[in-house]
Amino acid sequence: MTVKTVEEDALVKRKAMKEAILSGDSTVLKFYENSVVLITGGSGFLGKHLIFKLMSSCNINKLFVLLRPRKGKSIHERLKSILEDPVFKLLHNEKPDFVNKLVAVEGETAENNLGLDEKTWKMISDQVNVIFHAAATVNFKEIIKVATLTNIRGAREVLHLAKASKNIKAVVHVSTAYIQATKRNHSEVIKEDFYECPISPEALIKLAETVDEDKLDAMIEPIMKEWPNSYTFTKAVAEELIRTDTANFPICIVRPAIGKLLAT
C-alpha cells in the first residue's frame, strides 16, 4: 500500500465522518456533546491523533491535556508545540478556534495524585466527564521501578481522579495488544479477556515506592521472566488493577497494536 493510497482512503473515511456528523444521528457525537474530556499522554503519537479526532468530529466543550514541563519548555509551550504537528493541519484550517477549548494542566502521571495540586485536582474532578488514560513509558528497557510507578501507579491515580469526579461518564484505559505476548502464549490466540496476574498491583507499587532499584530488579526478575520486557509486564499488571478496582464503574480497556506504513 502506497502513501498516496493511504491518504486517499483517509479522505474517503473523513467524508463519511462529516456526513454522519451533519446528519445529527451519530450516537458518538451525542455522547460527547458539550462534554469535558481529560487526556493523559496527549504529547504522544496516539494522544495527538485522539485530540485531533475528538476536536474534529465532536462538539467538545473543553479538553484538559495533562502535561509536565520538559526540556526547558513550560506546559503551555509544549501544548503549542504539540499543535504544530502535521496531524492538526486540517483542523487548523477547518476549525481554527478548537485551540481555545484546549487547556494544559501541569501534572506527572508517575506521581501520586498525578502530580496535580489541590486546586487543579478539584477543578478537573468538578468538570470532567470522560478520561482517556494514554500516558505510559513505552521504553522496553525501562527499569522496573520507573515502569511500575508510571504504568501501574499512574493508572491507579487516574482511577482515583475518576472516582472523585462528580460527573464522570466513561474512562478509557489504553493498554497494549502485547500484554500477554509471553513465552507461554507465543503460539496462542490472545483473547479479549483478563489473564492471571503474577503479582498484586498494589504489592508491586509498594515495592517500587520502598525498595531500591537493584534489589527490586532482582526480586521481580523471576516473576516477569515470561514477559519480554518491563513495558508489557507492567501494562499487564495495570490491567489487573483495572479488573480488581473498578466494579460497576464505567471503564473500558483498549489494546492498540503496532501499525506499519510501507511506502513504495
- 220-236 pLDDT per residue, tens: 999 999 999 999 999 99
- 1: DSSP letter: -
Q: What does the block give as the cell for 99?
A: 485551540
Q: Is pLDDT at 122 greater than 80 in this prediction?
A: yes
- 32-46 pLDDT per residue, tens: 999 999 999 999 999
- 17-27 pLDDT per residue, tens: 666 666 667 88
252 neighbors 214 (Cβ within 8 angstroms): no
- 200-211 pLDDT per residue, tens: 999 999 999 999
**3-class SS at 205?**
helix
Walk me through the domains of the chain, giving residue ranges and CATH numbers.
3-254 (3.40.50.720)
Among 108, 171, 174, 111, which Cα is nearest to 138's? 174
The residue ranking higher by pLDDT, 52 or 180, is: 52
- 142-163 pLDDT per residue, tens: 999 999 999 999 999 999 999 9
